[in-house]
Structure 1
Amino acid sequence: MTTGPNPLGEYLRARRELVTPEQMGIPVLGVRRVPGLRREEVAMLAGISSDYYLRLEQGRDRNPSAQVLESIARVLRLDDDNTAYLLGLGADKPRRARRRPRKETVPPSIVTFLATLPLPAFVEGRYLDVLAANPLAGALSPRLVPGANRLRDVFLDPAEKALFPDWDRATEGLVAGFRQSVGTDTDNPRFIELVGELSLASPRFRRLWARHDVAGRLGAPMRFDHPQVGELHLNREKLHITGTDGIMLVVYHPDPGTDDADKLALLGSATLKSATPHDATAPERARRAER
C-alpha cells in the first residue's frame, strides 16, 4: 500500500461514512459494522469495480478520471463545492517543492476603503487571519483586530463563542469554508500548525475537520448576542479582493429601518466617540509610526 499523505482517500472515506444505506435505497439486513456505506456499495452505485475503489481509498491509485470522480460524487451526495474539491484532490499535478509561505498583505486602497466604511468590516486572509479591521468591527467583537485568527477565536475563546447563539452552525460553516480556502495545499507549515493546534485544543474542531465538509466562503445572515446591545441580526458579505490569493473583504450590515440598524448605529456612535485616527488598521498605524 502507498504510504504518505493520502488526502483523496481520507476524503472519500470520511464522506462515505456520512451517507446512509437508506438514503441510497439499500436494504439494511442485520448489524452493520461500519457507519455509512460500505466500499463495495459505493463502487456498485458508481459503476466501478470494488477493487478499483479500494485502491482509491488506500492511495494506490491517485489519478482517477474526472468521470469516475463525478460518479462517486453523485453516490456520496456531494454538492457543487464538495464535488469541485474532490475533483481537485484527484487532479494529476506534479509535486511542488515546499515553498516558504508568502506574507499576506492588504492593498493600500483597501486599507483606505476599510477606514471609510460606516459598517463593521475587516479583511480576512486565506487561513482566516484578520489582516485589517475598522473600529466598528472591533466594537462588534474585540477579537476582530489585526493579528487575530477567526478559527482560533471562535473555537477557543469563550467570550467569542458566547457572541454566537448559533455557535454550532457558525463553526460548521467556518471549518467548511477554511477547507475550501486551503484546498490541496495541505503541506503548508501555516496550515499544519493551525490545524494541529485546533485539533488538540478543541474536540468540536476535531470532529468537524474529520467530516471533510467543504463550502464556499460566502455571505450569510448572522445572529449575535452582543454584550452591549443584545441580540443583533446582521447580513454578512464576503467579497474577494482582486489581485490577491484568497484574501476577502468581510462586511456586516443590517436590514434598513430595523431595530438592528438602530443598535448598530448606537454601537457606531459609541465607537466614534472613543476612536482616534490611529484605530483604523495595523498597516495604517505602522505607516503613521514611520512618519
Structure 2
Amino acid sequence: MGQSAEFGKFLKAMRSRLTPENVGLASSSAGRRVPGLRREEIARLADVSTDYYTRLEQGRNIHPSRAVLDSVARALRLDPGEQAHMLDLLENCANTQRPPVPVQGVRPALRQLLDAVGNVPALVLGRRSDVLAGNRLAFLLLADFPAMPAAERNLTRWIILDPLARELFRDWSSVASEAVGSLRMDIGRHPNDAQANQLVGELAVRSEQFRQWWAGHRVARGSAERVRFRHPVVGDLELNSEDLILPDDPDQVLRMYTAEPGSTSADSLTLLGSFGAGEAAVIATSRSPENRNASGPANTT
C-alpha cells in the first residue's frame, strides 16, 4: 500500500478532535496552541516513534503494516467506519492507476422488488448517493427525483441544497451531516470518480454547513436509524430507515423506510400511498420551489 496526502489529512483531523482526557493523559493546556493531541502523544499511544507518525501525517511514501495501522486507529479512537475509511484512503488515494469508475445500473429483478414492496418507501442508491431507482411511495415521501434533471438525482445534493428537504426532515442537521459522512466514505473508495469530486465542489461552493462538515473529515456508514419527517401532505411521521448493501454490488444500497405496525406513522404512509397518479402530480408540483408542472413520480428513474 502506498501513502497519500488525504490519508495524512484524515489522521490530523482525527487527532485534532481528541483531548488528553479522552485518552487518559494528564490534562494540561500549557503550550497547546491548537485543539487536539500533539503528534508525540498519539505516537506514544500507538507505540511508534514520533518521527514515524509525523511522516504518516505528512503523507510521505512509507508503507505501514496492518499492525501499525490498527495501533494508530486505537490511539485515535476510530470507530469501525472511520478505521475502514482510513484503510480505503491508504489503499486507493495513492493509486493513480486505478481503472475508471464503471457506469451504474440497476438489475431488472431489483426494480421488480421495488414495485413488490410498494407499500414501503424504497430507493436504490449508488455511488455518491445517486438515486438510481425507487418506488412511487419513496418519491411521494421524499422528492420527485424522476422529474429532476439526471445530474441532480442525488440524495445528498437534494438534502443539502433543497429548502424543502430542510422542512421535510425534522432533524435536518443530523440527516445532512450523516449524508456528508457517507459521501466522504464513498470518495475514499473511489477517489478517481470525477462526478463525485464535482459534487463535492458544487456543495462546497453553495453550502457553508457542507464546508464545515467536510473540513471535519467526518465519515458515516449507512445503518439502521430513526428518521423524523414533517410531510407537507400527511404531517409528522417517524420511520425506521434501513440500508441493505447489495451482495452483487457493494456500491449499491437498498434503503427502505418502515413504520411501526399500528402506529400513526403507518396510517400516514397508507394515506400517502392512497393518492392516485394525478394527485401525486399535484403534490409534486406544490412542493416544487419552481412550481414546475411535473407529470408525477414514476416507479423508477
Q: Could you tell me the TM-score, scaled by structure 1's length?
A: 0.88
State the secondary structure of the residue aligned to 2:17: coil
In structure 2, distance between residues paired with 1:250 and 1:15: 29
Partner of 1:7: 6
Is the CA contact (8 Å cut-off) linking 2:92 and 2:188 kept in structure 1? Answer: no
Alignment of 1:93-104 (within 5 A): 95-97=95-97, 99-104=99-104
- Aligned residue in 2 for 1:64: 64
Going from structure 1 to structure 2, the CA distance change for 1:75 and 1:100 (only over 3 Å counts) comes to closer
Counterpart of 2:199 in structure 1: which amino acid? L
Q: Determine the C-alpha separation between the residues in 1 that align with 2:212 and 2:175.
A: 14
What is the rounded CA distance, in whole Å, between the counterparts of 2:215 and 2:228 in structure 1? Answer: 26
Match runs of 1:30-41 below 5 Å:
30=30, 32-41=32-41
Counterpart for residue 261 of structure 2: 256
2:224 aligned residue (210, 219, 222): 219
Asked if 1 retains the 8 angstrom alpha-carbon contact of 2:185 and 2:219, the reply is yes
Match of 1:133 in 2: 134
Superposed displacement of residue 246, structure 1? 0.9
Contact 2:101 / 2:190 at 8 angstroms: preserved in 1?
A: no
1:266 matches 2:271: yes
Counterpart-to-counterpart distance in 1, 2:58 and 2:76: 18
Aligned to 2:233: 228
Q: Is the 8 A contact 1:17 1:35 kept in 2?
A: yes
CA root-mean-square deviation: 2.4
Match of 2:300 in 1: 281
Q: Distance in 2 between matches of 1:161 and 1:192?
A: 24
| Residue type of the alignment partner of 1:120 | P
Q: Is the 8 A contact 1:9 1:59 kept in 2?
A: yes
Amino acid at match of 1:279: A
User: 1:245 deviation in Å?
Assistant: 4.1
User: Which whole-Å CA distance do the structure 2 matches of 1:43 and 1:82 have between them?
Assistant: 18
Contact kept in structure 1, 2:187 and 2:193, CA below 8 Å: no
The 3-state SS of whatever aligns with 2:106 is coil
Letter paired with 1:281: T
Is 2:246 aligned against 1:241? yes
Q: In the aligned structure 2, how far is the partner of 1:29 from the partner of 1:236?
A: 42
Q: Quick check: 1:19 aligned with 2:24?
A: no
Q: CA deviation at 1:57?
A: 0.7
Deviation, structure 1 residue 98? 5.2
- Percent identity over the alignment is 39
Letter in 2 for 1:6: A
Say whether the 8 Å CA contact 2:245–2:253 is kept in structure 1: yes
- Partner deviation per Cα, 1:113-150 (whole Å, 9 max, x = no partner): 21232211111111101111211111102244474111
Q: Say whether the 8 Å CA contact 2:106–2:133 is kept in structure 1.
A: yes
Q: Are the counterparts in 1 of residues 239 and 265 from structure 2 also a CA contact under 8 Å?
A: yes
Q: 1:231 to 1:249 in 2, by over 3 A?
A: same
Aligned residue identity for 1:136: L
Q: Distance in 2 between matches of 1:108 and 1:277?
A: 22
1:177–1:216 contact (8 Å) kept in structure 2? yes
Q: Secondary structure at 1:247's aligned position in 2?
A: strand
Deviation sequence 1:216-274 (CA, Å, 0-9, x none): 22221110011112111011111122322411111111000001111111101114674
2:97 paired with 1:120: no
| Kept in 2: contact 1:136–1:271 (CA 8 A) | no
Structure 1 unaligned segments of length 5 or more: list them. 283-291
